[in-house]
Structure 1
């Protein structure tokens, strides 16, 4: 197992996690008037993202790497697109839910790709699988809510 490849994959996931945190900040307080039942799930997702971030940083450091504690270019473009889209969207609540679902799906895809890459050591695989489980659970919550909105 190549430690540099493991660190690189973990840094990619750290960027994705930072994208989630930045994305959540974009949608904060946008739908709570009409979907107050979402607030606890949203707050859990935000707290979970910060925990995931710290776990990735800790593992990257333990592997001898330097955490790349930034967001991705694609995540920045997506957040800019959200701003443009929301400017012209009438139903901002529905659009916000769609953006949360889209972001969670993108994170799940990145985690699946990391696992399929074969570049993770057993310890990293365990952490990534655990984080993927949490991502899928939050995705399922918001996908269900989006479909009934």
Structure 2
């Protein structure tokens, strides 16, 4: 099956978003003081790493290698994500590792991820199997974001 550029970009961007999310959640887990929250954030980190792995596996079925392909949009996404990770570090340092402030940064990261998923779902000629995986992951990220919002309050 021939895959167009927008589908390849969707896979590349989502893999990058999830790899960044895994790192961000790991940093957040290390920054919070509440042991239960630390555990939940670490689980979210593992979830994002699993999402990236799942997307890479699906991409390879279509001859896409997200680790080796790079797009301008992907590079911009990666730069924004690196900046976001920096904010988590900065925010935890400035606020004395305030759990609510860190949760706020996680919430922002998830909002960014959801936007990337919604953009990916608009890719022209997205294969049905890819669309299904992307929709499922989007739903789980939305559930995580809602949980983070609830924990924050």
What TM-score do the two structures reach when normalised by structure 1?
0.84
Q: What value does the CA root-mean-square deviation take over the aligned residues?
A: 2.2
Aligned counterpart, 1:140: 146
How far has the Cα of 1:26 moved from its partner? 1.5
How far has the Cα of 1:8 moved from its partner? 1.6
Aligned counterpart, 1:15: 16
Equivalent pair of 1:3/1:63 in contact (CA under 8 Å): no
Equivalent pair of 1:105/1:139 in contact (CA under 8 Å): yes
Aligned counterpart, 2:73: none
Q: Runs of 5+ in structure 1 lacking a partner?
A: none
- What's the CA shift string for 1:27-70, capped at 9, x where partnerless? 1232243xx33344323312211211111110111100112279
CA distance in 1, matches of 2:89, 2:43: 24
Distance 1:119 1:87, change over 3 A: farther
How far has the Cα of 1:103 moved from its partner? 0.8
